[in-house]
Amino acid sequence: MVDVDRRTVVRDSLGVAIATGTYGLSFGAVGVASGLDVAQTCVLSLLMFTGASQFALAGVLGAGGSAVSGALTALLLGTRNTLYGLRMAPLLGYRGWQRAVAAHVLIDESTAMAVNRASRSLARTGFWTTGGTIFVLWNLTTLVGAVAGEQLGDPRDLGLDAAVGAAFLALLWPRLASPVARLTAVLAALVAASAVTVTPAGVPVLVAAGVAVLVGALRR
């Protein structure tokens, strides 16, 4: 029975991991299209290893934003991993170096495949199978996407500048389930678009984070 449970967890985790790991292809292509070189794009996948923050840093720099606003946007998006960590800490029960390694693969998907498991052992199986597989695939496909993107010539001719917006929308889509989230998204987009005309590149996105604070604080 235990083995059947474990096999199910591994199979589900691998399915999610393989689907997610291949997104790295689009990050690699978008990274070089945004003006990063292949090494910078690959180091982002290795060190940062959290997709939305990586796309954000590349996107802000590509749009002419400063390094500081790019880094701040990536960090603000990275705060959601802190929340995942708070939920995962009692489930995984790691300390010391195991915790330090686990933190690196603490992302949306590894959390999703580990919460709600019947035991700590199954939670750990889901977490490591998903996180580890995505880490390997994400870095390989980032390299492939970046090298291919560099060979293919002007990113605009390939529509890769439009691909960045589509990638952000696809990352946003599953978070729009509640009316409050949809209201926040619409307001943030309006605020950011208005700010484009009056602030330096990169700043509009940071200003829009204020919408989340306002909506979250005002709503009961």
Partner 1 sequence: MTWWAILAAGLGCYLLKLAGLSVPARVLARPVVARIADLVPVALLAALVAVQVLAAPSGRALALDARAAALGVAVLLLLARAPFLVVVFGSAASAALLRLL
Structure tokens at 100: 């330090």
Q: Which of 10, 23, 113, 133 binds partner 1 (CB under 8 A)?
A: 23
Q: Which is nearer to partner 1, 5 or 152 (CB)?
A: 152
Is residue 213 at the binding interface for partner 1, with CB under 8 A as the rule?
yes
Distance, CA of 12 to CA of 196 (rounded, Å) = 42
Q: Which of 11, 15, 18, 83 binds partner 1 (CB under 8 A)?
A: 83
CB 113 within 8 Å of CB 126: yes
Torsion of CA 51, 178, 90, 12, to 10 degrees: -60
Q: Which is nearer to partner 1, 70 or 125 (CB)?
A: 70
- DSSP letter at 145 equals H
- From the list 219, 2, 10, the residue with the least C-alpha distance to 114 is 10
> Can you list the alpha helix ranges (DSSP code H) found in the chain?
2-21, 24-33, 38-43, 51-62, 67-92, 96-104, 108-112, 120-151, 160-172, 179-196, 203-218
Is residue 55 at the binding interface for partner 1, with CB under 8 A as the rule?
yes
For residue 88, the number of C-alpha atoms closer than 13 Å in the C-beta half-sphere is 28
Indicate the burial class of 83 (C-beta count within 10 angstroms; 0-12, 13-18, 19 or more).
Answer: exposed
- DSSP letter at 95 equals -
Is residue 19 at the binding interface for partner 1, with CB under 8 A as the rule?
yes
Q: Which is nearer to partner 1, 5 or 52 (CB)?
A: 52
Q: Which of 9, 10, 32, 61 binds partner 1 (CB under 8 A)?
A: 61
Q: Which of 6, 14, 80, 112 binds partner 1 (CB under 8 A)?
A: 80
Give, as ranges, the residues between 132 and 151 that touch partner 1 (CB under 8 A): none
Structure tokens at 139: 């870095």
Q: Which stretch binds partner 1 (CB under 8 A): 7-15, 117-125, 132-140, 158-166?
A: 158-166
Give, as ranges, the residues between 185 and 204 that touch partner 1 (CB under 8 A): 185-193, 196-201, 204
Is residue 165 at the binding interface for partner 1, with CB under 8 A as the rule?
yes
Is residue 18 at the binding interface for partner 1, with CB under 8 A as the rule?
no
Q: Which stretch binds partner 1 (CB under 8 A): 3-11, 83-91, 121-129, 132-140?
A: 83-91
Nearest-approach distance from CB 99 to partner 1, in angstroms: 5
Q: Which is nearer to partner 1, 77 or 122 (CB)?
A: 77
Distance, CA of 28 to CA of 47 (rounded, Å) = 14
Is residue 115 at the binding interface for partner 1, with CB under 8 A as the rule?
no
